[in-house]
Structures are given as C-alpha cells and as structure tokens.
Structure 1
Amino acid sequence: MTQTDRFQELKQEVLLEYQRHYPYFQGNWKNFGSQDIQNLIHLIEESLNERISEKWIYTHLKPDANEKLPRKDMLNILSRFVGYSGWDEFIHKDKSDAELKSLQALGRRRKRRILFGVIALLAAVGILVYFFPNEEKTHVIELKNEFTKENLKSDEVKIYQLEDNKKIPLEIKDQKIEVKVHKDKATKIVIESPYYKNRTVEIQQPEQSQTDVLMKPDDYAMMLKAFIGSDIKDWQTRKLQLDKILSDDLEVLLMLKNDLGTEYLNKKEFSAKLIIPTDAVRRMRIVEVNSDKDNRINFIRIIQE
C-alpha cells in the first residue's frame, strides 16, 4: 500500500473525527460544505493550536483522489487530530492478527460488564426522571434589525443552540425559531449572519413565551449587499465606494453553480466584476463576510446562484 493510499485512509479518519463533533453531518468530502470547512478549521485550532487554511482543504481533502502527498507537517497535524502522535505512527498502525484476537476476547469480557453497568445506569436515570422531572418549555425567538425593528430574512441568518461547545443548527420557520428552555438552566444561542454582527445570547425561561433578539447591521456588508442588488449606472462612483469599504488584501471565494468549484478573486478582480451591474452580479449571494481591525472587508464568500 502506497503512502497516497494511506493518506486516503487518513482523510476518512479525519471525516469520522469531524462527525464525532458534528453528528448531524452524514456526508463525505464531496459534499463537505463551506460551514463544515470552517468548523473543521476551528476544531483543529482549538484541539491542537494548529492552523489549516481553507484553500489547503479545498486542494488536498476535497478531491476524490490525490496524485501527490501533502507536506509532512500538514500530515502530522491531521494524524494528531485523529489520535496519533504523527504521520509516522499513522502509517505503521497495522496490528497483528494475534493482537486483534486478544482485543476481541477482551471486548467480549468487557461487554458483559458494560451490560450490567448500563442496566444499573438506566435504573438510576429512571429514578431521577421520576423524582426530578426535567421541566422544559418551548420558547420562540424572533430576530429583528436593531434600527428598523424589521424581521431578518431567514436566508440571511444562521442560528445554533450551543451544547457542550457544539453548535446544533436550529430551523427558522416563518421568521421564528423554537428552542427548548429549561427552567433552571439558560439556553445559549449563537446567531451568525454576513450582514449583521454575530451574537451569542442566553435565553432563560421567562414568564413570556417569546423573546425578540435585536441584531446590529454591519454597515459595510449592507453596502456591499446593496451594490450587488442595485442598478447603479455611475460605475466611477461605485468604484470609489468599493475602494473605501474593501481592504487592499481582500480575498473573495466565489462558489460556482453545479459544484463546478471555487473561483478566487482579489480586490481588483472583484471590484471589476462589481462596478458594472449585470445579471451574473445580481445572482450573487453573500454567505460570509469578515472585516479587519479598521472595519474594512477583507474576506467574502459568495455563492453564484
């Protein structure tokens, strides 16, 4: 077995480790979306204090096959992420048949002990539930613009319930979100949007059944949204305005339709597309915006619809 074959195995173990943290994802690398990529980058930074770029993931993890082996330092990071000391240990991870049989025998003995333990645990849980019922109520959240007090559009915002440092997506129905709130414990909600400042709020179980959460607009992101959807003819004015709100080291990821890949644009290339309103520009939908310390936009992710 070649080292590139080993790398394919490592990719699968990385995917399984990711699913352990985000069990709602049941796909493969081909449909590993932009939010999943950001989640994986955050997991690796949080657990290993190491950084893997989004472009590296697109280049080495997303493809079905890899002709070349990535750099060993990156292989070491991924190997450590799935529980090994590094790439060298990972590629020598085969166990002998004798070891496997020994582990299987040990597993059978442990299963019997675990079965008795599970029965005892279930009995204890049943007693706790009977004498100490978990009183939860359904609470409704509405997200509103802080200034206009209008409801946010459901396709411009993502909302998660935070449990054990894991983000569980919540569904938005008719511009409302339903969450379960315990009477003795606050429910932590994370709200993300390319056009509004991200927020984390704690919802207690109040007397009323609904809470309005006010979201502060990101002025430059709102301007960018207006540029994309507008029909401005004065391209020179538009160019000057874009130069003001976009950082000089801007990076734009334009995700093409029909899974055709991603186009990378710098400030000059992106501005050239945007200063002239076309049907292609109007079909752009912003899904992520980041800003630098001067509040100028330095990263944009766009879906071409």
Structure 2
Amino acid sequence: MIHWEAHACLPLHPDADFSPLDKLRDAGVHYVSVNVGMDMNPVAQIVSVLAAFRARIAAHPERFVLARSVTDIERAAATGVLAVGFDLEGALPLLGQPDMVALYRDLGVRQMHFAYNRNNPVADGCHDIERGLTPLGRRMVEAVNRAGVLMDCAHTGRRCSLDIMAASSQPVIFSHANPLALVEHGRNISDAQIKACAATGGVVCISGVSAFLGMRQPTADDVARHAAYVAGLVGAQHVGIGLDISFRQDALNDNPPGDYDPAYWWPRSAGYDSGITSITYTPLDTWQQLPSALEKAGLSAAEVAGVMGDNMLRVARQVWQPS
C-alpha cells in the first residue's frame, strides 16, 4: 500500500526548511506533491524555488528522491525514502505557451491546474466570474495530456472544471478538494464535478483545510467523513488524500515581489479572513489515524488502501510519461 499526499506547501523560498518532509515520511507517507508556485508568483520566483528544491533533494538521496515515475515511488517506499514531485497552481506561469508544460515537467512538475481562485487567460478561478475554458485553455489541456502531467482541477471554477474534464483525454484529479454537499464554500466541489472527475477515471483527494471541512480544528474523522461521501457517490476507487498542509516558516518571507494583494487572491467575500492566515489544518498525525477513521466511516480494508494512495498511484501509472 502506497500512502500518497497529493498536495503540501513549503515556503516558496530557496531557503525553505525541508524538515516537514522528513516528518511526512515518518508519518508513513511515501510520496508527496509539493507546490512550487501559484498564479501570483512570477516565473523568476518559481524557477528559483525549483532550482533550490531540486538541489536539496539531490543532496540527500538517503532522505528524498525526485519522482519521475511510479517505479521511483515504489522503490522509494521499499527503501524508506520519501519520493517528491512538484505541482503548479495556475496557468500564468506558463506565459501563454503550451510548450512550457513539458519544460516544467522536465523540472519535476508532475501535476498542475490552470487557475488559482481567480480568472486568467486560460481558465476560471473558483472565486471569480464564470466564463468556461478558453480556446487557449483547450490547447493547454492538450499540452498537459501530451506531456504526461496530471491534469488537476483544484481551485478552478465549476463550469470551467467541467470543460477541462470533458476536453481531457486522460484522467483528471482534484488534488485537494471537498464535497460542496457537506460544506458550503466556493472552494468545495459539486456532485456534478465529482461525477465528472470519476467519469474520466480520476480521483478526488480530500483536503484537511478547516474552512473546507467545516471544522475549526479538523481531525482524521472529518477527513474520513468527506472521503466516505465521495466514495458513496462515485465509488471509493475515485477517492484520495491531499491534506494541503502549509508548513509555514515565519522566518521566511515568501510573498511574491511587487504589488501583491492577498485580499484579491483570497477574497473576504468568499469567506477568507486576512488572506489564509486564519486557516488551520488537520495535524500531521492524521496520516497515521486515517486508516482506522476510514474503516470507521464504512470503507473496507481494500478501499482504505486505495484512498490512502493506491488510487492516485493507479492514475499516475496511466498518465505519467518519462521526461
């Protein structure tokens, strides 16, 4: 059984401390997708972070391996090493060029979505006016499929995500999302989105963010309740985990340079207070508590194994291509 963390955040700074990744490994995680940039981050910042994170991984082969294939993850799990991939949240760092997708893939980006909360020339954000996937966005979906990168619809507008899933020739995931039927929030996804994701063969990975779980101090039981809802709707084979824990390091300022307005990206009208500083997360030991919590929520042992990571492994085996 592979434990797959579909989304986690370190400071977007070359000096970010990697010790939280050691803690993830110690909690039983075998693979983690680490964010390296969002729509508000300029390409120079993203490339700087990628260079530093890649160097850190290469310098410590006894702790980490940069995952380029499912085989890398399985080998890492067998040897007690944490496999790491990167994800990109938003299409602005693609600079309007579909060929940028393959470049990011070659640097270790294994999944990406096209909008971070707000609209851009490619796609709609979940906290903005709905337009649908743009013509450039359709070309970008083709580029993601062609490059063997996981197409992700987290943070994407509802209509636009349905367009993306209809356009994709490969399974689509939500790397950190929760059912709207359980908690009313603009970041949560409708039953229609969940069903469309499952129809592609994809996976909805449940987030551990307090606002999206509807609990100030969420626990493994809260994550399991949301996982069980999705499993009941489309089958447990379409459920995964993306706790979205942000490992903040107060000594590092990782804000984008220049005119950066947190209230734009996390609007108060959408339920955010002071950006995302008031958000809390499920604790790291959620990973150790989840198997029993999922069984208590009604999932079988085989279904638990799928949710914990084997479902995402299945999708990655289908989608990923060697660089």
TM-score normalised by L of structure 1:
0.25
Q: Higher relative contact order by CA 8 Å / sep ≥ 6: 1 or 2?
A: 2
In terms of Rg, which structure is larger? 1
